Amino acid sequence: MTKDTSWARLSRRSVSIGALLPGTISDQLRQLVFFVDTSGSVSHAMCREMISEAAGALDQGTADMMTIVYADTHVQHVDNYVQGDIVEAGKYSGGGTAFRNSFEWLKENAPDASCVIYLTDMETSDWGDEPDCPVMWAVFTPDYRYDQVIAEAPFGQAIHISNLSG
């Protein structure tokens, strides 16, 4: 983790002794939001793999705070983590897939999120509206389906995470 100094954020230690010195700011993302697709098309094993990817980001110190949101057509559960926390995998729901409610939740509950990573198989009936922060689609799908499913995404950048067969 790299830190830089800034006069915009004064050092609390220096202020407490009556001096004004620049504080440090982290180059990490402030809040990283992971949405985990828990729809019926996502197996329990795939869901565990998705959570493992999110936990890895926390372990690497990618963000000051990480939020994992489990969603199918609606947000089912939310967990917040900071560095040092242990990420516990959960499987919630198993219905259809629609991203609209997830992005509405983001707007209402994490409006200043630095970035969204949506862990999904991209089998959706509703993309929703593009949020005010960057979106990365972490796509869990067989190689032969990847190009087809990402072609439908109206916004965001996609990366292929899994070489699942099937």
| Domain assignment of residue 15, yes or no | no
| Domain assignment of residue 23, yes or no | no
| Domain assignment of residue 8, yes or no | no
Look up residue 152 and give its DSSP letter: T
**pLDDT tens-place string over residues 76-133:** 999 999 888 888 877 667 789 999 999 999 999 999 899 999 999 999 989 999 999 9
Let me know: does 5 contact 23? Beta carbons within 8 Å.
Answer: yes
Could you identify the residue written with the tokens 């990480």?
A: 66
Which CATH number does the domain housing residue 133 bear? Answer: 3.40.50.410
| Domain assignment of residue 114, yes or no | yes
**pLDDT tens-place string over residues 37-79:** 999 998 888 888 888 888 888 888 787 889 999 999 999 999 9
Q: Which of 30, 28, 19, 24 is nearest to 8 (CA)?
A: 24
Q: Which domain holds residue 48?
A: 28-162
| Domain assignment of residue 20, yes or no | no
How many domains are contained in the chain? 1
Q: Which of 78, 38, 84 is nearest to 59 (CA)?
A: 84
- The pair phi, psi for residue 67, each rounded to 5°, is -120, 130
